[in-house]
Amino acid sequence: PRSSWLRQVPGTLLLLVFAVGIGLIAMTEQGLSLSALSGRSLSWWLTPAIVFVPTILAYTLLWHVLFLGGLRKLLGPGRWRTAAAVVITAAVYAVYHVASVDEIQGVGPMLEEIGITFAIRLVLLSFVVLSGSIAPALIADAVINYLVFLPMDHFHPPVVQALVGVSVAGAVVLVYR
């Protein structure tokens, strides 16, 4: 018999293909093509990851472990209750996420962003529940966000500044362990 990890490989690969596809669509909607990225420096590629990886980790733990886990405990066992916890978590996350995006103007774009965010989160949360692991969803979320934020200039701080920020975050984690 195959191990549980091996049974998850096809689903994990499909999830990563989904993440790359969503990220590439977001990049092209921002007017950035893959060919435009060819002349970029190594620090241009790395600083966004340094900046937001701690954030993605925190969000994943908050939403996929604490919020979803708490809601599952509150609603109790059962498939439909678990499904309800996934849908509620995805919906609350989508509204929360849009509330933190200040570039959205108008009801139409806001509802579109809520719908897209809800659908993506629904896929990621479902994968967490079905696989029993947050790791693939964490990686997929990091891939999506990396590709979404890559074109944005404010996610490319100088390497020293990015490393200082991560060091401060790491120090806080060490202090509160």
Residue-wise pLDDT tens digits, 36-84:
777 777 777 777 777 777 788 888 888 999 999 999 999 999 999 999 9
Band of residue 133 on the pLDDT scale cut at 50, 70, 90: confident
pLDDT for 2 equals: 45
Q: What confidence tens digit (pLDDT) does each residue in 104-124 have?
A: 677 787 888 889 889 999 999
Are 19 and 141 a contacting pair, CB within 8 Å? yes
Give the whole-angstrom CA distance, residue 32 versus residue 24: 9
Give the whole-angstrom CA distance, residue 53 versus residue 42: 17
Q: What confidence tens digit (pLDDT) does each residue in 3-46 have?
A: 455 566 777 888 888 888 888 888 888 777 777 777 777 777 77
The closest alpha carbon to 151, from 9, 15, 27, belongs to: 27
pLDDT for 69 equals: 94
The predicted model scores a pTM of: 0.77
pLDDT for 1 equals: 43
Q: Where are the alpha helices (DSSP H) in 61-158?
A: 68-75, 79-99, 107-131, 135-149
> 86 vs 30, which has greater pLDDT?
86
Query: Percentage helix, strand, coil, to 5, in the chain?
Result: 80, 0, 20
pLDDT for 119 equals: 93
